[in-house]
Homo-oligomer: A and B are copies of this chain.
């Protein structure tokens, strides 16, 4: 940030009075420009014992596999953001369950919120590559390309999911709402 978005004057980076951390300050109009973390919302779409992953067509991590997720927009809920991202990146409609992983990434000012979801069965084809994906497909646990996952948040979410499934044993058909929330902090990629 170099200029005040309100009045156009140059800003300076300093600690305001009655505050304890530096902000971008405009001496011309008095605006303090706060900067806050952003939410990355997405889904872990499942179909029986398989999960849906997208191979990224864009940087960063082009060519690597990820869950459908992206920056939450103003005016939507976290669930709506997860549904929208899944529709955009995987052309898939989902039934959304509970929040499944909540991951703080303080070094990049992001909070990941991944909802567990079931692929809606009524649509054929159920999924396809959106403009930001090279390829979209279902993976069983044995097929997961662990070394080619795009982000540590994706690895963490998949590890929790397959651990929860193993814990169920052969019964293995837990309702979406019965999976627990897992939270964590990743401080470096």
Q: Using a CB–CB distance below 8 Å, which chain A residues touch chain B? A: 1-8, 10-11, 18, 21, 24, 33-39, 71-80, 98-99, 102, 104, 106-107, 109, 111, 131, 181, 183, 185
Contact = CB atoms under 8 A, between A and B. Distances in A.
Nearest to A181: B181
A77 B106 contact: yes
A181 B99 contact: yes
A37 B34 contact: no
How many copies make up the complex?
A: 2
B99 A77 contact: no
Dominant secondary structure of chain A at its interface with chain B: loop
23 contacts: A2-B5, A2-B6, A3-B5, A3-B6, A3-B7, A3-B8, A4-B5, A5-B24, A8-B8, A8-B10, A18-B131, A21-B73, A36-B39, A36-B73, A36-B74, A37-B73, A37-B74, A39-B39, A75-B109, A77-B104, A80-B106, A99-B181, A181-B181
The list of the 5 closest CB pairs from A to B, nearest first, reads A77-B104, A3-B8, A74-B109, A5-B5, A1-B5
A22 to B, nearest CB: 11
B6 A77 contact: no
A6 B4 CA distance: 9
A104 to B, nearest CB: 4
Contact of A36 (B7, B33, B72): B72
A116 B85 CA distance: 30
Contacts of A1: 5-6
A37 B72 contact: yes
